[in-house]
Structure 1
């Protein structure tokens, strides 16, 4: 979600060292790439981590395959469908595999100390049928990034409401800004941009419903959500305020890169954009994402998930490796490398207490995490619903598009997926 991604889609295989004869075990992990170039691919993180682990565990080898977020969920599904599940996968959703009985419960793998260290709202979100199968790996929240230089030139201030956002976008367009407001509804992470807008679409100070209501029933085509996407289509996209690339074809990585190049006035972003913008010398600010009325409402949180498949056995070795992965040091190293939020209490407390870079810049995101609303990842239907949103939501704001029709079709997809999964 959460998350910036690499277009490299590369695969790395990391060998182990040492041997203990018949006790040798090779673990296979498929992981997502959080980098935005070959230079900072997640391969480097896993390469270093695995090397350190294998040095003290000569009987265990870990092979890591790293794919872009455009490909990683599909790759894992193909492996599982072919009967060759990896030992571990670090991807975007877990519940469908849990419901199929393919995953180890977290309690089968992790020490009590490791389990107790996860932030409670993330551990709860990792439950299917009251048992935790999804192990949170990385988290983020969203804020509105704005280019201070472009705002000063246009004589405007950061928006707090949708009306102010549209007015700022018009002023930026008048100054020749290429993307007054970047709206990435492309297939890379459209479900995140969509949920952020749905949550901010409430009236009278109430938050939007997101994808589901309070009891977990899909409400994608609610009247409120239709109004939200009608506003996006009519007040932003149709007026040329979202840039030259159609939102349905604009991926988040492209939008972030354009912001880092000084071509974007505003974009909803997660913490990794800080590093990209700073690396290019962009002067930027961050404010809470505007809502319909400008009043307080829930913000969106995203967690990506680690899971372990039972097919190959190896529960003891998987658990030992994951206990190592989730040490305070390793969680902090990953979070700092990629500008993401720690998923454990110990690492979160350490980051909150630090005023050093990059920790201090992450404090606004960290403060929102405890009260944020996550995707309905505990629903076995969520993976297919998320995929449908990624592929189709851009049509809702396209020229001639019908927001109500698109959302109604997505609702039908969600309802059918829920029915097929046997979950509410």
Structure 2
């Protein structure tokens, strides 16, 4: 709170004025303030919609902060980034958005930094790897909201029927998938490289092959030797041998793959904590192991974070800060993580989850988070690079596809987008 009042105190002194500090910040004047909050829906139906969480949170905040109202709008996860972009373009930016990308808005000067909004105790509580991923030019703009890591999921019942063990290497994946195919499993290995979220599946495989989206100094390296070798292996040893099911990987979306796993139609796929919950509800005996690599289990994992941000347009800096400080208390962080089997983004909440036996199923995911690799969120070019991946990566494993040329094309588009920043 002290940081949010420094500018006000200096301004008062400079103008020789006196003022009474109220619940409203210097940017918003006096009287009641309504914050507009747009958030993504993590639910799969009306009963699990995120609307309830945000409405409950807003109600508790309003009760604790008279004079500040919160107008909540929850949008489909598929649409929310596009919807917020349209609002910003129309000059109707929300005060707070919980979405998937922040860098473009930060570069355009449309966001408050964490230093301008958060109490020190709140900002310092973020897990360092996530906090670092939320920075642009050294300042924290994207506040991590929830996180997840990825493991390889397998159907224990199907594996038992086929007499096979959980895979540790790519060769194990191939042999296990062949055994599952022989038993007429619909998707021996589900490989969702369709347009929904193929940038995630792509990164998981790149990491397991010793590559990634960027090199050691943060430059795009999408067409590296390691990445090309990884997609050649996928094309020749999984897709080419008919081990990925009846839908071409480039046409298979993650959501459809997850639905098929929950129905017992998938032997293996890369998944996140929410899938564990959904599959077990449907009676699937779920096994999980670290992502298999070329020669053994992958040491690191892919991590994903979604972001909160405060927009400057309406001048509600102080009120935004109060709401964010409230939202990031352990109780509220854990409530959302619990609802969707996701991982908390703060150190104190992570310790609480780690020490709580009821979250034992998430401990492997939690352990993988500190050393996980995230998307290059801080690049404003990442949004365009990600769209190129979603549009084109499936072609790398098609029967007539050329992994080297597809990755080179994607890499060229990413570098072109970065040079235009």
Report the TM-score, using the length of structure 2 for normalisation: 0.91
- 2:398 paired residue number: 398
Q: For 2:392 and 2:45, how far apart are their aligned partners in 1?
A: 27
TM superposition outliers: structure 1 runs of 4+ over 4 Å: none
Contact 2:290 2:298 in 1 (8 A): no
1:114 aligns with 2:122: yes
1:105 aligns with 2:95: no
Contact 2:207 2:298 in 1 (8 A): no
1:128 aligns with 2:130: no
- 2:285 paired residue number: 283
1:60 aligns with 2:68: yes
Q: CA deviation at 1:68?
A: 2.4
Q: For 2:30 and 2:297, how far apart are their aligned partners in 1?
A: 63
3-state secondary structure, aligned to 1:23: coil
3-state secondary structure, aligned to 2:416: helix
- 1:71 paired residue number: 79
3-state secondary structure, aligned to 1:117: coil
- 1:301 paired residue number: 303
For residue 317 of structure 1, the aligned residue among 316, 319, 323 is 319
1:386 aligns with 2:379: no
Unaligned 5+ residue runs, structure 2?
1-28
Report the TM-score, using the length of structure 1 for normalisation: 0.90
- 1:84 paired residue number: 92
For residue 271 of structure 2, the aligned residue among 264, 269, 278 is 269
1:330-345 → structure 2 map (5 Å cutoff) = 330-345=332-347
Q: CA deviation at 1:314?
A: 0.3
Q: CA deviation at 1:159?
A: 0.6
1:2-51 Cα distance to aligned partner (Å, 9 max, x none): xxxxxxxxxxxxxxxxxxx9612121122112112222011121121112
1:357-372 → structure 2 map (5 Å cutoff) = 359-372=359-372
Contact 1:28 1:63 in 2 (8 A): yes
Q: CA deviation at 1:366?
A: 0.4
1:328 aligns with 2:336: no
Deviates more, 1:110-119 or 1:41-50: 41-50
Q: For 1:25 and 1:245, how far apart are their aligned partners in 2?
A: 51
Contact 1:98 1:133 in 2 (8 A): yes
Contact 1:27 1:63 in 2 (8 A): yes
User: Quick check: which has more Rg, 1 or 2?
Assistant: 2
Unaligned 5+ residue runs, structure 1?
1-20, 202-207
Contact 1:126 1:132 in 2 (8 A): yes
Contact 2:187 2:243 in 1 (8 A): yes
- 1:142 paired residue number: 150
Q: For 1:99 and 1:126, how far apart are their aligned partners in 2?
A: 12
For residue 49 of structure 1, the aligned residue among 53, 57, 69 is 57
- 2:248 paired residue number: 246
Q: CA deviation at 1:405?
A: 1.7
Contact 2:195 2:251 in 1 (8 A): yes
RMSD: 1.4
Deviates more, 1:117-126 or 1:326-335: 117-126
1:104-156 Cα distance to aligned partner (Å, 9 max, x none): 00111111111111111111111110111110001111111100000011111
3-state secondary structure, aligned to 2:420: helix
Q: CA deviation at 1:296?
A: 4.2
- 1:408 paired residue number: 408
Q: CA deviation at 1:57?
A: 2.7
